[in-house]
Amino acid sequence: MTPEEEIRQLRAELNQHNYNYYVLNAPTISDYDFDQLMHRLEDLELFYPQFADPNSPTQRVGSDLNQQFRQVAHKYPMLSLANTYSEADVRDFYERVRSGLEGEPFEIVAEMKYDGLSISLTYIDGQLVQAVTRGDGVQGDDVTANVRTIRSIPLQLRPGSGYPHEFEIRGEILMPWASFNRLNAEREAREEPLFANPRNAASGTLKSQKSELVAQRGLDAYLYYVLGDEIPTDGFHYENLQEAKKWGFKISEGMQKCHSVEEVLDFINYWDKERKNLPVATDGIVLKVNSLRQQRHLGYTAKSPRWAIAYKFQAERVATKLLEVTYQVGRTGAITPVANMEPVQLAGTTVKRASLHNADIIRQLDLHIGDTVYVEKGGEIIPKVVGVEVENRSKDAVAVQFIQNCPECGTPLIRIEGEAAHYCPNDTGCPPQIKGRIEHYISRKAMNIESLGPETVDDYFQRGLIHDVADLYQIRPDQISGVNGTKIKSAQKIVESIRGSLQVPFERVVFAIGIRFVGETTAKQLARHFRSMDALSHASLEELQEVEGIGLVIAQSVVDYFHEPRNVDVVNRLRAAGVQMEIDLDENVGGSDALQGKSIVISGVFTHHSRDEYKALIELHGGKNVGSISAKTSFVLAGDNMGPAKLEKAQKLGVPIVSENEFLNMIQ
């Protein structure tokens, strides 16, 4: 067997095993044997690069290289569905279909509405060639590199299964509960904001600039609609999906052909309860006319098809017992009360903790220890306490009183006027705050020191190696290389990663040092206005408030930060280590005030620069990027295929449309 023949055989074999595992959920070999086959293929592809294939199973791991998403126009518009929330609405839809078909018999396909991100996949000769998000329905982002990492999406369709030469299949990319819970547990350990629900997590993951990260997060996909010029026009939706299953696609088992409105309602009522046992989030049922010919006859409204509708489930609520309220300390010193409850099943997960946010929420709920409380997820998958069953409260129940002292260091708490949260002011001596600031400093959007994580930070802190972020730059490989240097390579990698952060630009340094209330955008504004740490540290309250978007609270927080001697010492030690302390002159070459005071919306696909490059140019020349069009918008920078909704709104409000070349002339 030649190397090329062995490569082809291994790819076919691994594709079949992927299908068995991720689509059929019926693996036929052990993980070890699978890995051995994969390693053999990786070795062959390394030695014979002339046989490289982007759809090879070895490419599922993704890349750590940044990528820019280009916008692609949909061949067939991706419209949204009309929503309904009641049995009466479902009956009305059924009667509208009956009337529209003038009494002709019809079938309704009822299927699960998965709560994820809509995707359009194009296949040619059985190979995945493009994956595009829904976007605005007319055009979306090309996320092919990221989608290739999702193992339930076939890169090569099953040979001899009868697929057309070219077709499009649409579906939902989502994050299973298991992946979602694991991801949020990791983020909670790093004191990063939790994803609100699996849909947000899936969307954020799919839009990542690194496909390597997408591969790590365990996304899944269900496909639900086939279309294309080679699909029989007199065919049926349900039967098309059964064929797609043979080609290798993951199709929902929760699907049924219904011949009466009663069958539709029975399906809805069954899955309203049974969906709690599914491994993925669902938020409703989709109803579609089965016949493609009848679909074309019924047609579309301006926004949605007349032959389909989405029924949304009501938010799920359960009752359980409040056992105690504990308190967590964040990196900024903010105190978050947490309700600890008897474990209860809610929307697919076991819930035993829920954030109570702040003292005001506790007071509004009138919480007592031992209360029967109502917990809800709804659209917000992070559990929240929404009510109390007061009638069940025992007479000797003790009211929950918000704590007066920090649970970690004992310092009396403070509450800033106008703020909902209480804070521990001991930011230099409270362990969770110290470790939290270090974890914030090394995070991706700050200094991006990838080799470190919360567990490593905690280990170094406990061993006395680090007490603040400046100590990171003093770490030597021999201090962290383990007994007898058993981890010397890992230690060298960590030190090199820390040294690499010296190249991070100044605006991210301002964000990284962790000034309270100064987020990523605010840090960028401060950095570009004051241009150096010296200027920022000596700015007065009045000078800080001259920066757009900086109010009294943020300005006072900046002043307070630099009035604390320990913070000044940390900044000085960071400077001595080589951290960037001013704007790089090269970053502002060619800047001007040509767009000063202008708010600009970007829409469309561009020729000369990417969207991100145009955003940078707008800021470089004094303008402000805004996401939506309003009467205050100065103009829209429009490329090809500008979104029709934005175009219509701009014309309605009289907002000027500026072409790519006109814009470049404006900034010379």
Residue pair 441/469 in contact (Cβ under 8 Å)? The answer is yes
| 384 is an active site residue | no
Active-site entry in 75, 113, 210, 377: 113
Neighbour count for residue 500 (Cβ, 10 Å): 14
For residues 399 and 377, give the distance between their C-alpha atoms in angstroms, rounded to a whole number: 25
How many distinct helices (H) and strands (E) make up the chain? 24, 20
For residues 13 and 6, give the distance between their C-alpha atoms in angstroms, rounded to a whole number: 10
| Interior/surface letters 143-171, b for 16+ CB within 10 angstroms, e for the rest | bbbbbbbbbbbbbbbbeeeebbeebbbbb
Longest dimension (CA), the chain: 84
For residues 357 and 588, give the distance between their C-alpha atoms in angstroms, rounded to a whole number: 42
Radius of gyration of the chain (CA): 28
Instruction: Please name which of 109, 214, 223, 134 lies closest in space to residue 172, comparing C-alpha atoms.
Output: 223
Token pair recorded at residue 185:
């547990």
Instruction: Please name which of 575, 582, 469, 449 lies closest in space to residue 526, comparing C-alpha atoms.
Output: 582
Calculate ∠ Cα 562-566-572, nearest 5°: 75
Token pair recorded at residue 386:
């929404």
CA dihedral 179, 181, 186, 191 (to 10 degrees): 140
Residue pair 138/641 in contact (Cβ under 8 Å)? The answer is yes
> Which residues form the catalytic set?
113
